[in-house]
Amino acid sequence: MLALADCNNFYASCERVFQPQLEGKPILVLSNNDGCVIARSNEAKALGIKMGVPVFQVKTLIEQHNIQLFSSNFTLYGDLSKRVMSTIQQEVKAMEVYSIDEAFMDFSGEGTPLEKGIALKQKVKQYTGIPISIGIAPTKTLCKVAGLIAKKHTSSGVFVLQSPDLIQRDLKWLPVEELWGVGRRHARMLKSVGIQSAYDLCCADDSWIKRRLSVVGLRMVKELRGTPCFPLEKNASRKKNICTSRSFSKAITSLEELKEAVSNYTSNCAYKLRKQKSCATRIS
């Protein structure tokens, strides 16, 4: 069995670690120049605020509901992510850090998966202050489905998706656009031919899936059917592109200010390059 740990509203949760009085209150985290919303607490989502919306468009809601605003602090988020991953690593045989707020884990031979998941969730919360949800299933793609259910439809925040009947029931409920790896363009194409749910996609012909969604899409569908196709990657692959990108909060008119910023961000990129023991063939 595999499992997926997913930090709940990660950036907002990081801010709450240091301001616990904001628990239960709406929070928005803004982009580097404080222009757009890049993270929302559940309370802010319930007010109808969409991801990526410009702040000025929701100014009235912010004032009406006293929504707390935070400028993004990626150094803080990276540090708390490392603490979460380190805490998880102590409790599992193997893990793959998938993103800043997600990790796949090997749950095989770990006793009762549900009890293991609940205990791990409690430990991460106690050690780091970050709430997580855990989806447990036989494949990575089904773990993603289980994680969605754990986050939105359980009180424990942990869900095991294992029996064929349960898998079939939940795939019939899951809209195809919410599947891992299905983007907007593919979702529109699938819906145009009558494929509305994840279960509908599982019932499609393999050759048709490969032709429309590529071999990667076919592997994803096979994982939905219970056949593992994406192994746990215990060693993170090296990045092929490294980017440090920031926006200025005001107009820059001094060449010296620009040089200072570019030098600083170039240094950050070089640090990341050295850390993964790589060389660069091009800098832009």
Residue 52 contacts residue 38 (beta carbons within 8 Å): yes
Looking at the DSSP bridge assignments, the partners of residue 69 are 28
**Strand residue runs (E) in the chain:** 2-7, 27-30, 37-40, 68-71, 95-99, 102-106, 132-137, 158-160
Distances (CA, A) of 254 to 153, 247, 249, 263: 53, 16, 14, 14
Tokens for 156? 């424990």
Is 102 a residue of the active site? yes
The answer to whether 135 touches 4, Cβ cutoff 8 Å, is yes
Residues 67/26, Cβ–Cβ less than 8 Å: yes
- List 15, 43, 102, 110, catalytic entry: 102
- Retrieve residue 3's tokens: 């499992």
The total number of residues shown for the chain amounts to 284
Task: Name the residues annotated as catalytic.
Answer: 102
